[in-house]
Chain A
């Protein structure tokens, strides 16, 4: 088979001792930059880019790619243990990951996230291997109308985040939307809420808000609850009796979640600009609407952690497709990868895989190996991270404040953003105390600008007509999927739960 021989050729390129070493270094660095809150893959890539100048292109690109997908593995660890997302794609992992850890299941949660990341990453690479040409058609069919519909679909997640008191939930989302409008208006170039400040031209960045609301907000709340006063008080429980490994039930109940999360994540990842963050959020909301027990989500449901984790890793694989086949980077991280390609005089585009088969297939082959290496690194590292939560909270707490501050600063070297993080921490505390929804705020901040820009672009293109949404085939597809998600999935889920209840009643 053609693909098979290509892959073998790629493996032969990738498996040289020196390339393997680069791959391992990349995977490790990726893990580390992923773990540090704020310090995402794009920053890690950009910083290590100059180091690769003297290297052979294939080794260098393998290493840089490993940093990119390795960060997806690392990013979840702090989401689970500290409720602080390492980067935007792992926000959704805090929803159930942190409650799991609080319930004393930190060990199983960490193992399951590593496994889910591995499955997502590997399924993603398999799909690249066999379906790259097909998916390159998907990534070239998305224009502004489709992005708008995609953002609307993402906002369905928002409805679920709103929680019991709808007024407070809606207020949370509106704060997020409001923050999203800050910055220079894309269409007219007019400043909105910038008050002449150069720092605000580019808008309010998502990372300081997320770190503040989730990480620092949770920390303040823990102190308010007096956690630091208990002897070994720790924000997450770790029971020695509790098994480190996930139970059989964990695996069985999430096997389809992994499959669904991988495929959804990959498809969303293929769309330039949608990326791992939206993929993980959509996977979470899909899993919740499919679940027979949606009320357990947000309280420590394993599927609620596995879904976003498989999806964000699959999405990071998927994002390689527009990069390799069209030369279009779908995210900040792949944009740095593209810059690396260009530095070596390589021009990704439709002809790239034919013109540089060794490089392209070597990279794809290395992604299989890299994911395996990352799984191993993760499993070995988990006991280390579990030690972290044994540190008494009165000592860990101040250190978390330091990590949040340093992580935020490292992103753009901006004091304004660091202060913003502290402010978001205080607001996050009150939101948590008074029953608001920080998750809805963060989601609205991500999706609001995307939706507004895409809608205004669409209406400029269509000269004000909304018919454009039904005139384009890809748009129609997204509308159909959205309707299915809203109407059909909850129905299916309800039928499933009823069937289960009948079963239980009968048995």
Chain B
């Protein structure tokens, strides 16, 4: 699995270096270090070291991987977090936060419905008072305001 992550990084490094060589100048017209100088250095070293790491990885792969269940738990939380990110854009900070908390807690904190609902309502309200009223900070605005 680590090798997959490294391969993904290698892809990123190649893309990064490609742009550095195609779009960015190595030197400026006046002969100083150009905008592409460091990106090329970073890109090339990135490719080389990632390749080294991949070879090493292929030679000795004794790194033990987590169980399927561990991955399921992780994947579940990541999926929920990403849904939350999308909901934030659509429904704004308060609604999205309440929805996210209800769904996530229903799974994680099973069987305590009242407690979960209470948290899902109180946390956005608390954040609202702290951010909006006390600190006058911005909260994600809703793209579609729910009629509440």
User: Which residues of chain B are within 8 angstroms of A401 by Cβ–Cβ distance?
Assistant: 81, 84, 100, 104
Of the candidates B43, B66, B97, the one having the most CB atoms from chain A within 10 angstroms of its own CB is: B97
Interface pair B32/A460, CB less than 8 Å apart: yes
Dominant secondary structure at the B interface = helix
Complex Cα spacing A163 to B94, Å:
41
| Closest residue on chain B to residue A193 by CB atoms | B19
- Kindly state whether residue A113 has any CB partner on chain B within 8 Å: no
- Name the interface residues of B67-82: CB closer than 8 Å to any CB of A: 70-71, 73-74, 77-78, 81-82
Measured in the bound complex, the distance between the Cα atoms of B74 and A397 in whole Å is: 12
B25, B56, B81: the one contacting A167 at CB < 8 Å is B56
The answer, among B24, B53, B140, for a CB contact under 8 Å with A168, is B53
Contact with B along A414-425 (1 / 0, CB 8 A): 010011001001
CA distance A188 to B35 in the complex (A): 7
Hey, what's the 0/1 contact readout for B10-50 against A, CB within 8 Å counting as 1?
00110010010000110010011111001100110110011
Cα distance, A299 to B12, chains bound together (Å):
32
Instruction: Check B33–A456 contact: CB distance below 8 A.
Output: yes
Query: 1/0 per position for A5-38, CB-CB distance to B under 8 A?
Result: 0000000000000000000000001001100100
Q: Is A402 in contact with chain B by the CB < 8 A criterion?
A: yes
Closest A residue to B9 by CB, please name it.
Answer: A171
Binds B, one of A216-224, A272-280, A316-324: A216-224
Total residues of chain A contacting the partner, CB 8 A: 61
Asked if B88 contacts A405 (CB within 8 A), the reply is yes
Are A177 and B38 neighbours in the complex by a CB distance under 8 Å? yes
Residue interface mask A307-338, B partner, CB < 8 A = 1: 00000000000000000000000000000000
Contact of A422 among B39, B85, B93, B101 (CB under 8 A): B85
In contact, B81 and A216 (Cβ under 8 angstroms): yes
Check A464 for interface membership: any CB of B closer than 8 A: yes
In A110-167, the 8 Å CB interface with B consists of 167
| Nearest opposing residue in chain B for A170, CB measure | B49
Question: B127: CB under 8 A from chain A?
Answer: yes
Q: Which single member of A48, A187, A419, A448 contacts B35 (CB below 8 Å)?
A: A187
A185 partner residues in chain B, CB cutoff 8 A: 35
Which of A347-355, A378-386, A426-434 lines the interface with chain B?
A426-434
> Are the CB atoms of B73 and A223 closer together than 8 Å?
yes
In the complex, the answer to whether B93 meets A399 with C-beta atoms within 8 Å is no
B140 touches A409 (CB 8 A): yes
A464 touches B31 (CB 8 A): yes
Size class of the contact patch on chain B: 35 or more
Which of B53, B84, B101, B108 contacts A394 (CB under 8 A)?
B108
A459, B77: Cβ atoms closer than 8 Å: no
Contacts of B42 in A (CB 8 A): 174, 177-178, 181
Instruction: Tell me whether B139 is interfacial, beta carbon within 8 Å.
Output: yes
* Residue of A171, A192, A410, A459 touching B137 (CB-CB under 8 A): A410
> CB of B146 within 8 A of chain A?
no
Interface check B114, CB cutoff 8 A: no
Whether B73 lies near A226 (C-beta < 8 A) is yes
Closest chain A residue to B10, Cβ basis: A171
The reply to whether the CB of B60 lies closer than 8 angstroms to some CB of chain A is: no
Complex Cα–Cα for A224 and B77 (A): 9
Q: Which residues of B contact A223 (CB under 8 A)?
A: 73-74, 77
Say whether A250 faces chain B, with CB atoms less than 8 Å apart: no
Interface residues of A in 181-209 (CB under 8 A from B): 181, 185, 187-188, 190, 192-193
User: Residues on B close to A: CB < 8 A?
Assistant: 1-2, 5, 9, 12-13, 16, 19, 24-25, 28, 31-35, 38-39, 42-43, 45-46, 49-50, 52-53, 56, 63, 66, 70-71, 73-74, 77-78, 81-82, 84-85, 88-89, 93, 97, 100-101, 104-105, 108-109, 115, 119, 123, 127, 130-131, 134-140
Interfacial residues, chain A to chain B (CB-CB below 8 A): 29, 32-33, 36, 39, 43-44, 47-48, 167-168, 170-171, 174-175, 177-178, 181, 185, 187-188, 190, 192-193, 216, 219-220, 223-226, 228, 392, 394-395, 397-399, 401-402, 405-406, 409-410, 413, 415, 418-419, 422, 425-426, 429-430, 434, 448, 452, 455-456, 459-460, 464
Cβ contacts A to B, 16 pairs, < 8 Å: A171-B9, A174-B45, A175-B46, A177-B38, A224-B70, A226-B70, A228-B108, A394-B105, A398-B104, A401-B84, A401-B100, A401-B104, A405-B88, A409-B140, A422-B82, A434-B1
